[in-house]
């Protein structure tokens, strides 16, 4: 199912709303709207520079009962990936530091406590 620029605008607005709610103010976020063969969306980041690109697929694999809800869920999913990016990077780092990992886990917990 082909998506339009209207769908992309909804996606970006949802991402911005979620990023604000999660307190992810220190990130420079770019948005893309292009073909993704294996997913509805994608979040890529460079943790050191706090730069991220959040992508919405322009062609969803099948129609949904509510395309708008699927786009909102995809935006939330990609923003949650960005929220978890510090621990993702630390977990795969060759210089793994347990104290730093624990600090990032608790930062995420505090964010979730505010949201929930």
Res 36: pLDDT = 93
Res 63: pLDDT = 66
pLDDT tens, 89-109? 888 878 888 888 899 899 999
Which residues make Cβ contacts (< 8 Å) with residue 47, sequence separation at least 6?
Answer: 85, 86, 89
Q: Cα angle at 34 between 33 and 39, to 5 degrees?
A: 100
Q: What is the pLDDT along the chain (116 residues), one digit of tens a residue?
A: 889 999 999 999 999 999 999 999 999 999 999 999 888 999 999 988 999 999 999 987 776 778 899 999 999 999 999 999 998 888 887 888 888 889 989 999 999 998 87
Cα(7)–Cα(96) distance, integer angstroms: 40
Cα(52)–Cα(92) distance, integer angstroms: 18
pTM, two decimal places = 0.88
Res 92: pLDDT = 82
Percent of the chain with pLDDT over 70: 98
């Amino acid at each position: 199912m082909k998506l339009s620029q209207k769908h992309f605008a909804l996606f970006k607005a949802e991402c911005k709303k979620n990023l604000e709610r999660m307190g992810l103010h220190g990130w420079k976020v770019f948005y893309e709207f292009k073909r993704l063969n294996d997913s509805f969306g994608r979040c890529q980041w460079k943790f050191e520079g706090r730069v991220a690109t959040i992508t919405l697929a322009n062609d969803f694999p099948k129609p949904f009962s509510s395309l708008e809800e699927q786009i909102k869920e995809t935006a939330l999913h990609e923003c949650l990936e960005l929220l978890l990016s510090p621990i993702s990077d630390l977990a795969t780092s060759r210089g793994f530091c347990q104290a730093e990992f624990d600090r990032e886990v608790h930062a995420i917990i505090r964010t979730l406590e505010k949201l929930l």
